[in-house]
Amino acid sequence: MARRKPDDKSNVADKASEIAKNIWLAGVGAYGKAVDDAQTRFEKAGVEPPKLFKDLVKAGAALEEEARSSMEDIKTASSSVEERINRVRENFSLSRYARGSDLVALHQKVDKLSRQLAQLNNALKAAGVLTTAAKTKRKTPAKKATTSSKKKATPRKAPATRKSAAKSKVKTRAKAARKTS
């Protein structure tokens, strides 16, 4: 590394201070220009306030008219939607909303039906028509045939074919239909 001479350090410091001074002067110049522009505009506004005010009033009136027409469009659109909803309700007989009292009455009817169903189930159980899991007997497992027994096994029936099973279902349904009619 080459060592710098003491003169080099002073040149760098001089350049840095010159750059800082120029930055400061640029800021002051921008501030002065902004003040001049503001003063010029203020003077113009002092001479032409009626024209500026009239332009603002015209712009405000135009915006107000647009806002009113938008509000009218919104009102007509919302009334149109409400009319459609009312027509749909009338078509489905839903002209009124469900009230709390209607819901309470509906819950009471469901509770009453639930109690009646429980009573019917109890009556069927008492009559022996409906069995509970406790009343059902378990089947005892069949004893396995031992090799020492001399009994011959009985031949099993041949499995029913699909056609014969379908015919028997049709016959059973026909009998049931005759009984009900």
**What are the residue ranges spanned by the domains of the chain?**
12-90, 98-131
Return the percent helix, strand and coil in the chain, to nearest 5.
75, 0, 25
The angle subtended at Cα 85 by Cα 79 and Cα 89, nearest 5°, is 140
Rounded to the nearest integer, the mean pLDDT of the chain is 76
Q: Is the Cβ–Cβ distance between 125 and 132 less than 8 Å?
A: yes
Tell me which H or E stretch contains 152. none
Q: What is the pLDDT of residue 134?
A: 47
Determine the residue type at 129.
V
What average pLDDT does this structure show over 69-84? 86
Q: Is the Cβ–Cβ distance between 84 and 78 less than 8 Å?
A: no
Going from the C-alpha of 147 to that of each of 13, 84, 111, 143, the distances in angstroms are: 120, 85, 62, 12
Confidence category of residue 26, pLDDT binned at 50, 70, 90: very high
**Distance separating alpha carbons of residues 58 and 47, to the nearest angstrom:** 20
Helix/strand/coil for 56: helix
Q: Is the Cβ–Cβ distance between 145 and 151 less than 8 Å?
A: yes
pLDDT above 50: residue 89: yes
Tokens of 95: 């002209």
Classify the phi-psi angles of 128: left when phi > 0, otherwise alpha if psi is within -120 to 50, otherwise beta: left
Confidence category of residue 169, pLDDT binned at 50, 70, 90: low
**Pick from 17-26, 46-55, 148-157: least confident:** 148-157
What average pLDDT does this structure show over 102-123? 91
